Amino acid sequence: MFQPEWESMPRERLEEVQLERLRATLRRVYDNVPLYRERFDEAGLAPEVSTLAELADLPFTVKDDLRACYPYGLFAAPRSEIVRVHASSGTTGQITVVGYTANDISMWADLMARTLAAAGATRDDVVQVAYGYGLFTGGLGVHYGSERLGALTIPISGGNTRRQVQVLVDFGVTVLACTPSYSLLLAETAEEMGVDPRSLPLRAGVFGAEPWSENMRRQIESTLGIRATDIYGLSEVLGPGVATECAEQHGLHVNEDHFIIEIVDPATLRPVPDGETGEVVFTTITKEGIPVLRYRTRDISRIIPGECACGRTSRRMERITGRTDDMIIVRGVNVFPSQIEQVLAGVPGVAPHYQVILGKRGSMDTVEVHVEVAPDLAFDEVRELEELQRTVRGEIASALAVSIGVKLVEPRSIERSEGKAKRVVDLRDATGGE
């Protein structure tokens, strides 16, 4: 552990710390951010709580609040104290901006050092940071954490995949940081270049920024010969460093000394008991630049009840299964792309590269999964392909309880991403009325 005094703090003490920090945050946002002051005043609420449970009665913050206050309206520190901004483009709409004070940047470096340490990294490691540098939080977030840990840090950023492979080989990289989908593109490219990724000193990966499944983890681990750790975060709350898996690989420890997690029922918006699935909501309790109160992430997860064998006392959230806005409704059944991925990654003969295509036939919405056949399968063996297609369709139907069209496509025909993979392609406007 990087900070055992915090990471394995007795829960009673942790909750005292949370309450104290929550109170300070409430005062901070009420005194400095007009939006929060108005919300409290309008609701007739004082910016005070005497127990953590009272948090559930306070107003939420949503992405649109950041948009409405673009660019700096939600900052709770004077402009002169903000030393960095990041921004997230999102898939739709205006970008949203977040600001960090020097203390925020330092706290973030600590949390990312915790994250890397939880993935098994030490100061002796060589960390290739292949998340994008820039307004995206991935690159600089991991970078500062890796330096804080004392590891040798390679700020290569995303893209230029052949050069990435060269660096992996030449620099003796032991820890890779990128999106899970990009790690597979790196492996594929290495093989094209005649490099067996399993023969490299690479031993660990910290992967996040997009949903991925347990089966995808196994594929990555066996293709690259590494331990793959899931890391989670979002720019509105911090960037990476909000929650991370430990060596147990059973849920992501939330850095609860800095963030309070709630899981709420997306319909009633009331907190659900531990173990039940719902929308993840975070309140930051140490951030100065842009603290957020009850931020609705739109990510779906649940708290895993019970203690972790690793000794950390923080609660764990299950890997994100999807986002409320990614959910596809197929004949009344809710489907997340990561559920489809979990199925595909378990079927021999197909590669873990897929897209879910939404279209329209007349006034009917259609859904079709495009998945690449594995490179070693002959694409012209019609009977074999038909058989495989039936298998994939059957596996999806039995796992998801709904039948979805499947189209097998040639190896390498689905666009690869250097950052977050695009899993859902919505052609409904383009195909409308056909």
Which residues of the chain form contacts with ligand DLL (CB under 6 A)? 88, 131, 136-138, 208-211, 230-235, 239-240, 297, 299, 320, 323
Q: Closest separation between CB of residue 88 and ligand DLL, Å? A: 4
Q: Closest separation between CB of residue 415 and ligand DLL, Å? A: 19
Q: Closest separation between CB of residue 420 and ligand DLL, Å? A: 7
CA atoms within 13 A on the CB side of 379: 13
Q: Closest separation between CB of residue 111 and ligand DLL, Å? A: 12
Closest CB to ligand DLL among residues 89, 222: 89
Q: Closest separation between CB of residue 321 and ligand DLL, Å? A: 8
CA 258/CA 21 separation, integer angstroms: 8
Closest CB to ligand DLL among residues 65, 299: 299
Q: Which residues contact 118 (CB under 8 A, 6 or more apart)?
A: 1, 2, 229, 244, 245, 246, 247, 253, 310, 312
The 3 state secondary structure assigned to the chain is CCCHHHHCCCHHHHHHHHHHHHHHHHHHHHHHCHHHHHHHHHCCCCCCCCCHHHHHHCCCECHHHHHHCCCCCCCCCCHHHEEEEEEECCCCCCCEEEEEEHHHHHHHHHHHHHHHHHCCCCCCCEEEECCCCCCCHHHHHHHHHHHHHCCEEECCCCCCHHHHHHHHHHCCCCEEEECHHHHHHHHHHHHHCCCCHHHCCCCEEEEECCCCCHHHHHHHHHHHCCEEEEEEEECCCCEEEEEEECCCCCCEEECCCCEEEEEECCCCCCECCCCCCEEEEEEECCCCCCCCCCEEEEEEECEECCCCCCCCCCCEECCCCEECCCCEEECCEEECHHHHHHHHCCCCCEEEEEEEEEEEECCEEEEEEEEEECCCCCCCCHHHHHHHHHHHHHHHHHHHCCCCEEEEECCCCCCCCCCCCCCEEECHHHHCCC
Closest CB to ligand DLL among residues 138, 251: 138
Residue number with the shortest CB distance to ligand DLL?
208
Q: How far is CA 373 from CA 110, 348, 415, in A?
A: 42, 9, 14
Q: Closest separation between CB of residue 51 and ligand DLL, Å? A: 28
Closest CB to ligand DLL among residues 2, 108: 108
Closest CB to ligand DLL among residues 40, 131: 131
Q: Do residues 424 and 326 touch, judged by C-beta distance below 8 A?
A: yes
Closest CB to ligand DLL among residues 22, 320: 320
Closest CB to ligand DLL among residues 133, 136: 136
Closest CB to ligand DLL among residues 36, 295: 295
Q: Closest separation between CB of residue 419 and ligand DLL, Å? A: 9
Q: Closest separation between CB of residue 233 and ligand DLL, Å? A: 4
Closest CB to ligand DLL among residues 280, 408: 280
Closest CB to ligand DLL among residues 197, 240: 240
Q: Closest separation between CB of residue 231 and ligand DLL, Å? A: 5
Please give the structure tokens belonging to residue 163: 């050069």
CA 210/CA 233 separation, integer angstroms: 10
Closest CB to ligand DLL among residues 101, 181: 181
Q: Closest separation between CB of residue 87 and ligand DLL, Å? A: 9
Q: Closest separation between CB of residue 65 and ligand DLL, Å? A: 15
